Structure formats: structure tokens, C-alpha cells
Chain A
């Protein structure tokens, strides 16, 4: 149930995001989800893509610092209170969320949330027990 997310170190300079995403575009890698965490000097670009291995290779070849991080993805109904329900499950399970980002699915009425938690396995167990849908790597990459 773990999904490989690419994390890329990016200096805070205009044009950098365009240059980096052009590299993976040329490698014919499709982006599924994207998020940027930033400070005044640098940012971390986080990407979920259809072909993580190829993406890492192309970025490293271009001299970038890339790491792979295990994250989990949950699917929820796109309705008021549904996201809160999932967060409550984690809170009651005493599982901290490091960061997260969300996007709406092509399937009508569904939304997906990418979560980075400190204890991934414990989180997976806890979410499944409480009936929250977890997406597999294939679900996400093939989306």
C-alpha cells in the first residue's frame, strides 16, 4: 500500500520548476500529483508519477538531488466531513502527519489524499481497520 514519491531539492530561483519538470517531460514521465514545500531560500518539489524509476534516473542524470519517500494514498468521498473523518482515524490512532496534499479524482465524487506519516505501516493498518480506502501503487501510477 506504499507509494513511491519523488522529492527534489530546488533552489528558489525563477524558472527552476519549469526546467525540472521539462526533464521528466522529456523522459516521457506523467505527473499524477504535485506539491511544493518552500522556504525563502529553497523548496522541496514532491511528485507522484507513473514511472518513478525512470523519473529518478533522468533527474539524477541532470545533476539534481532526488530521494524516494514512501507515502500512502487514501480515497475518500468528495463530501463535507469525509476528509475530517479520515484525519480523526489517524488522530485517534496517535499517528502524526508530516505533510499531505490532495487532489480530486477523474471518477466523479471521489477525492484522493497523499499522506506522509511517521509510522507508515501503523497508519495503513489503522486506516484499513476503520474502513478507509487505501490506493495501491498500481492504482495511482495507472490513474
Chain B
């Protein structure tokens, strides 16, 4: 079987990230393990397109990475004049694969170290992309909209802190787990959001951080099946991702009311709703913020048309969400839901006390337009267009503004 090069590169990267977790534990050194895995993946990317992928890519990469680690350790030993543990060298000379259970534990340990609460949230996301997803600093810079040099600096600093401050390489025990999971889920969620609305990035990058986030959410869900939060996060991401095919067309962003719902991914919606129901059942219907967001996404996904959406249920869910985790997106979501459930005026009334951001002006423009106040809506869009926003948002608002101006002109005729 000849894989396309992209598919091959993808396999190599995903398998490489999986191998890394165990190699870090075996070698006891993140840098050596990472160097060994990256040398092994480079070797694979050089050899496989010519020879074709080996029958067992995972085994090939595992054994090659171990050999590379031996080489690196020998080089270091010669330089430092140190004798390394013979047991370690024996362990690295093995050709069998570690059991899945062992790999799972190693992956969990790595997830918790990357998402350690003593690292800044931005650092956690960068580390997760590097260590858990196997992305290069250049690719990470593309996802997080920073420079390669800045990414390298922040990764180096983080690694130094992990080593110098002795951040433990272990899975938190049961009582601690609940405290530590929000940080992990937060990393996965912000990774997804970063891919969902990249600020002002014109390039379509070869890396899709939404896909990476979903991969991590799947992994965490598999690794910690008894924990509710990973299930809820996975459900939320699947339900949001399911609508992605309809969110953009040739002209740009398509709002929910105009989306072609037949483009939505029915299988992902079904799975997302199933996971949500399962997590709600297990939490005795005491929903956390992820479950509530997933429930809102599920309401939209269930509706066969914009008009048949259960807006009063969505309004209720936003109100619950705001009591748990107040934030701008939820406040604006509540205003839109109120506008749909009652009237544009009641939605507008809920916006009075909120901070004036570009998104606030854009939502206000939408509600004013629904209320027939077109020239005010144009003014609100002008405000929205002055602040920072994504390229897609700007294009959409410019288009919307032109449409509304057209209505204003025909009204005045």
C-alpha cells in the first residue's frame, strides 16, 4: 500500500507523539527522548516514501527511536565522561513494544506534566502542541500566531522549569485528579478555539489545531473513562466540529441561520449527543460548564431548521452557564437567545451592561437589524470593524454592512 506523503507524515507524527511518552519515562530525560523521536521520525520520512511504509510502522518507529536514544546517550557519555546505567541501555535495546496499558499511563503522565498548574496557560498550550501532538516550533507558531523564535524561547523556558523545579512526572492521584483536570481540559478547549477562530491569520496552515484538539480530547476520554470532564469536552468539541463544513462557503463565513444543515456531520452529532447524555447521567444532571456548552451545541445540532430551534431552552442553558462561568461569549449568546425566544429588544436590553468589544458591536448590529433599525445596525458594524477581529469576521461584517446599506437606501426611496 502506498500512502500519500501527507498521510505518511501524519502517521509518523501521531505515532511519534505516542512513542515519546514511554521513551521519556525510560530515558528519564525529556530532551534526549524528544531528540531521539525526532531523529527517528526524520529517518522514517526519508526512507518510507522510497521503500514504502514498513508493515508495522509503530514497531519500526519505536525500535528506531530507542536506537537513536542509545546513540545520543553514548555521544553524551563520551562528552561528559559519564558511565550510564547498563540497565537503561538494555531496556533501550529491546525490540518488543510496550503494552498498551503501559503506553496509556505514560501518555497520561505526559499530559499532566504539560498541563501542570504551575506553568502559564499559554505555555501549557505550546507544550501540549510540541510534546503531545508532535508539532514543530514553526507549526506551533502558526497555530498560536506568534513567531518561531518566541515559541522556541517559551518551550525552552518551560522545559528548564520542569527540570529545575522538579515538576513531577506522574499521574495525580484520585483526590488531586479533580483539581488537575480543569487545566488539562482548558488546554484542549483553548487549542480548539485557537483553530476555530485564528486571529488575523491569512495563511491556511498545514496544521489544523481543531483536529489536534479533538485527537487529544479523544485520548483523554479513552485514558480516563471514569472522569466526567473529558467526556463533556469531547462531546462539546464533536458537536461544534460537526457544524464546521457548513460554516464557510466560497463567500466566507455563513451564520447559523443561513447554514445548509445537510452539510452537518450527522455521525459526529449523534456521538456528541450520546457522550453528553452519558456524562449528564453520570453527573446526576449537575452540569459543569463544558456540559452546558455541549448541551447548547446539542440543541442547535438537533434543530432541523433555524426557526425550529428551541431558543427558550438555549436561553435557560446560557443563564445556567453564566452562573457557573461568566464570560463574554456566553453573555452575548444569552442576548441572541433572548432575542430569538422573545424579541430583538429583549436581547438588546441584556447587552447594556456588557463591555464594548468588536464582537459586542457585531451582535448588537445583528439584533438591531432584526428589529428593523437598519441605519443603527450599520453604525454598530462600523464600530465592530474598527477593533481587532479575525479576517473572516471582518470580511463577513463588511459584506453584512453593504447588504444593510442597500436596505437603508431602498427604504429611503
Q: Answer whether A and B are interacting partners.
A: no
Q: Which residues of A contact B (CB under 8 A)?
A: none
